[in-house]
Amino acid sequence: MIMTIPYRCGFIAIVGRPNVGKSTLMNHLIGQKISITSKKAQTTRHKITGIFTDPAAQLVFVDTPGFQTDHRNALNDRLNLNVTEAMSGVDAIVFVVEAMRFTEADRTVLRQLPAHTPVLLTVNKIDKEKAKNKLALQEFIEQVSAEFPFVGVQTVSAKHGLRIANLIADLKPLLPESVPLYPDDMVTDKSSRFLAMEIVREKLFRYLGEELPYALNVEVEQFKIDDKGLHEIYIAVLVDKENQKPIVIGKGGEKLKKISTEARMDMEKLFDAKVFLKVWVKVKSGWADDIRFLNELGL
Ligand code: GDP
Ligand code: K
Ligand code: MG
């Protein structure tokens, strides 16, 4: 890659209340699905780094779990601490809101933003019907802009990849002059092992009911690549209680089969390789309140 001089490189945190589309945006910014998404809050449990590189700049995005304000337990406290940590020391912040919907939860996140870091307001989901009235959208933007001294505003649709290039163009001047910190073909600092685990978690979030996904965790027991490039991956789903096991497995094993088939297809796309995937269910109680276990998970 031929780089232009001066080159810019820096860190950008993507923040906002749950479900505004932070992870979907991150995936479109870097052009690969590395951060998992779903309709449920708290899908994103780990801080994920996604790297965008072009001849003029390298943008290192940090996707964060949404702030949890309602329900306190060891896991939520840890998630919030991680968001605060992810925001300190970045060069810029992308504050994401959903078009036509600004709530007390958005305001709570705004209050946590560090002083002296430039914050770009990003209005997502402009594809939605209610955002199609231009005048109403303009009024909404003015209303949110009055809440905080944003350095600028951009409207996007993360899901449809609309105006993502505009967002990147707005962010570049906010970064310091620096040589790139990562190789130009690197899209994330996470390992394939970690990404495999996240993909299985995403399917659990998508295919299980409202409550259960929060009581689950996922562990990679084996990850091997043979000399022909075949990825052999063994993953355990940890449930809190014995009676949760059949819910994950489903009638005649159907649910687990669907989860593992979709996970395998996503992995083949992301790793650009053939994947053999085995997923099974194990019982491990009380993990969500066990600080030592959270440490083991690297949370
Ligand atoms: P996060 O919790 O902020 O990371 O949000 P996610 O990225 O997980 O997205 C939450 C939900 O919003 C998912 O169902 C996404 O498909 C949906 N979503 C994200 N971006 C858009 C968008 O631009 N338009 C629409 N209509 N839906 C979106
Ligand atoms: K979500
Ligand atoms: Mg997310």
Total domains in the chain come to: 2
Task: Tell me if 155 CB under 6 Å of ligand 1.
Answer: no
C-alpha of residue 2 to centroid of ligand 3, in Å:
33
Q: Which ligand is nearest to the CA of 96?
A: 1
Judged on CB neighbours under 10 Å (0-12, 13-18, 19+), 161 is: middle
C-alpha of residue 149 to centroid of ligand 2, in Å:
27
ipTM: 0.99
Judge whether 219 lies within some domain.
Answer: yes
pLDDT at site 89? 84
pLDDT at site 76? 66
C-alpha of residue 220 to centroid of ligand 3, in Å:
21
C-alpha of residue 244 to centroid of ligand 1, in Å:
28
**DSSP result, 3-61:** PPSS-EEEEEEEE-STTSSHHHHHHHHHTS--S---SSTT---S-EEEEEE-SSEEEEE
pLDDT at site 88? 79
User: Partners of 212 in the beta sheet?
Assistant: none
pLDDT at site 64? 84
Judge whether 227 lies within some domain.
Answer: yes
Q: Do 145 and 97 share a structural domain?
A: yes
Q: Is residue 190 a known part of a binding site?
A: no
Instruction: Give which of 1, 80, 4 is closest to 42, Cα–Cα.
Output: 80
pLDDT at site 101? 97
pLDDT at site 3? 85
Q: Do 126 and 225 share a structural domain?
A: no
Q: Do 163 and 219 share a structural domain?
A: no
User: Helix 192-207 and helix 254-271: axis angle, to 10°?
Assistant: 140
Q: Is residue 218 a known part of a binding site?
A: no
Judge whether 244 lies within some domain.
Answer: yes
Tell me which of 24, 27, 29 to substitute to probe ligand 1's pocket, judged by most ligand atoms within 8 Å of the beta carbon: 24
Judge whether 187 lies within some domain.
Answer: no
Q: Do 102 and 236 share a structural domain?
A: no
Tell me which of 15, 17, 19 to substitute to probe ligand 1's pocket, judged by most ligand atoms within 8 Å of the beta carbon: 19
Q: Do 91 and 169 share a structural domain?
A: yes
Element (H, E) at 248: helix 245-249
The DSSP 8-state label assigned to residue 172 in this structure reads: G
Q: Is residue 176 a known part of a binding site?
A: no
Task: Tell me if 231 CB under 6 Å of ligand 1.
Answer: no
pLDDT at site 215? 79
The CA–CA distances, whole Å, from 183 to 50, 129, 153, 180, 187 equal 13, 40, 30, 7, 9
Q: Which of 174, 205, 235 is the last residue of a domain?
A: 174
Q: Is residue 55 a known part of a binding site?
A: no
Closest Cα to atom 2 of ligand 1:
19
Closest Cα to atom 9 of ligand 1:
21
pLDDT at site 286? 61
| pLDDT tens profile 114-150 | 889 999 999 999 999 999 999 999 999 999 999 999 9
C-alpha of residue 174 to centroid of ligand 1, in Å:
25
User: Helix 22-30 and helix 164-171: axis angle, to 10°?
Assistant: 80
**Which residues in the chain come in under a pLDDT of 50?**
none
Task: Tell me if 23 CB under 6 Å of ligand 1.
Answer: yes
Residue 112 belongs to domain spanning = 8-174
Largest CA distance in the chain: 61
